[in-house]
Structure 1
């Protein structure tokens, strides 16, 4: 495996960066962090290959935990510890605030658009997952469902890349799966004690039939969808588990590359580990391919594979930098 640093981006504040998210063109990257600012980075032909072209610093009053683009690229959303989710519309090459979504009782931890761009999901410290329906004609957002099946802080909510199927993970150690029945969102399965302690993040593969999750217990776990029947009690089952034994720090973030199948995992030990899924004796297993211990100097909070350039990984850290790394098999 060949690993090279493409670029090291340093936002001016030097403070913790919580999140990075790619525009679906692969040419634009959004970042957010402790300094309450969203930065939009655009690809350039020369080093450092991405430059900050615009910032938004007046929408939130506390750290911005997460940013996410809609699949069309016309909308950008941010989730903040101030309890608000803000949506921005693309106007004249810049993203301008168009909606402020309020309702969570405390910190909003994650935000994500469904693959159809019809729904937006948010989750937070108030133990709830909210599903908002998007009216693209007037950029309005309506609450469809508020689900409080978790018993603790909800850290993450994400979507299958091929259908409006969502998953959430929590401080309570459980995974919840959700589907829309035409009127409201329903919890279709709860996997209790999916991890020991907090589950920090999860990611679907390109088919939407497999899922990886990471957590406080330093395990990477692989889940497979056995049934698409929403009434089945065991739609998703665990297929494999990999224990990261060479660290005492939690695993905070995971990204599954939809172009080549590689899985990137970042954690509190400042390392990024690259996995794939292999078959051993007819059974799927997680295989560690490489440990990258020189990318960041502090906790890795986010990893994101470029959606059009298979070998390009973005990562964000407490060290105040964004790293762009090329990883070739």
Structure 2
């Protein structure tokens, strides 16, 4: 029988200006291992994968909202919300150890729409409280093809594509070909088999058209770019070429252990640079990767240069040549050490740019990137690459040369750590999400962020992020 959870403990690093304070845990406790909790992109809902089920919690009440059961014969390992749905519609995809992915739908009041930026819709769905009403989640489609456990599922930003990955070493890409928004018909458009080990996670590049400058995406590849992390210690970047084939354009090497996950930078970079990637690993490190972009002078000159994709245009290039073309990604930062065991999850805030991490050691850590240092980022890229290649001795995530140049060169800092976040249990997932609970001031609801951690104890725990 498991011991009683220990109280969370905060380290001395909290003196740097950030500390985490536990809020009341979501109810009810799940009393079984929970793998991850994923917030809805616009509504105050949180989906948690555990055993053979998914429990949807309300971020307003911090309590159970509805439950998805009966679709899988083994544990549900991952879950994702389908974006860009119409009013009063919810759709989830689940990835299971039974080697299938499932599509679930809820239609009726309390669903929601991505066109409701103020989240004014009532989130208490009829039937989610003590059996009132007759609404429930409908398991509408099973996606089959993987030979082993599905570890991760992810929708592309527009919802057109779904990526799944598995212990069978493959990544599958599915396309929504339904005639209507509610017509669940998906086709397999690619099976990617270049990884040499279990594929642990997949993540789509954020939509470039939503960034601050609508012209920034000109000349770059679209948001339909995919990254995958693997037991083979690598991350691969995939893209659909001009002939409709999905190809690997980069292999990111540097981790010395299983890469448990990957996430794209969610908020626009200063100067319009292409989104970076963050990866985390069993080697207890978190790495940030940056795409090397060429400069392309616009017609007419006048000194107007715009970054472009390293490939340029792909149309008309023979397949045999196209497959040899590659992107160049550099590891431009290794974050300061905060973990002593496998890092299972990292979340990058789209609002603040802060990173949070957690893992097997039960520690939750928060990191910040100094905005002032980002101005000098390009000047230090060569130095960062040198230190990561081993040319410069490393000290806690920064080179001795960098440290000697002063604090302004230390781009990432460890802001706070909290130990025993779930007592003696491993913490499997951490995510940033908006606050809507009664403890949040009305003017900050839907604006202020909190962290949510999910652990082997079956507890889904929110954390207030306090600044001094």
Q: How high is the TM-score relative to the length of structure 1?
A: 0.92
For 2:340, the equivalent position in structure 1 comes to 248
The gaps in structure 1 that reach 5 residues or longer are none
Q: How high is the TM-score relative to the length of structure 2?
A: 0.65
Would you say the 8 A contact 1:257–1:310 is kept in 2?
Answer: no
More strand per residue: 1
Would you say the 8 A contact 1:239–1:285 is kept in 2?
Answer: no
For 2:422, the equivalent position in structure 1 comes to 296
For 1:59, the equivalent position in structure 2 comes to 71
| Number of residues of Structure 1 aligned to a counterpart in Structure 2 | 322
1:171 maps to 2:263: no
For 1:123, the equivalent position in structure 2 comes to 165
For 2:203, the equivalent position in structure 1 comes to 158
Q: Which has the higher contact order (CA 8 A, sep 6+)?
A: 2
CA distance in 2, matches of 1:273, 1:302: 12
Deviation, 1:248, is 3.1
Q: Deviations over 1:174-222 (max 9, x none)?
A: 0100112251322111123x31110001111123511111100000101
CA distance in 2, matches of 1:12, 1:313: 18
For 1:319, the equivalent position in structure 2 comes to 457
Secondary structure in 2 matching 1:296? strand
User: 1:126/1:319 Cα in 2 relative to 1: closer, same or farther (>3 Å)?
Assistant: same
CA distance in 2, matches of 1:27, 1:290: 27
Would you say the 8 A contact 2:28–2:63 is kept in 1?
Answer: no
Within 5 Å, give how 1:181-200 maps onto structure 2: 181-182=241-242, 183-192=244-253, 194-200=254-260
Alignment equivalent of 2:357, drawn from 240, 265, 286: 265
Answer with 223-232 or 212-221: which moved more.
223-232
CA distance in 1, matches of 2:189, 2:339: 41
User: 1:128/1:249 Cα in 2 relative to 1: closer, same or farther (>3 Å)?
Assistant: same
Deviation, 1:126, is 0.3
Would you say the 8 A contact 1:215–1:252 is kept in 2?
Answer: yes
CA RMSD of aligned residues (A): 2.0
Answer with 148-157 or 208-217: which moved more.
208-217
The gaps in structure 2 that reach 5 residues or longer are 1-17, 112-135, 208-222, 269-273, 294-308, 312-321, 381-409, 435-445
For 2:22, the equivalent position in structure 1 comes to 5
Within 5 Å, give how 1:96-245 maps onto structure 2: 96-136=138-178, 137=180, 138-162=183-207, 163-182=223-242, 183-192=244-253, 194-205=254-265, 206-207=267-268, 209-227=275-293, 228-230=309-311, 233-242=326-335, 244=337
Q: Deviations over 1:204-255 (max 9, x none)?
A: 11235111111000001011122322476343211011352x6431101111
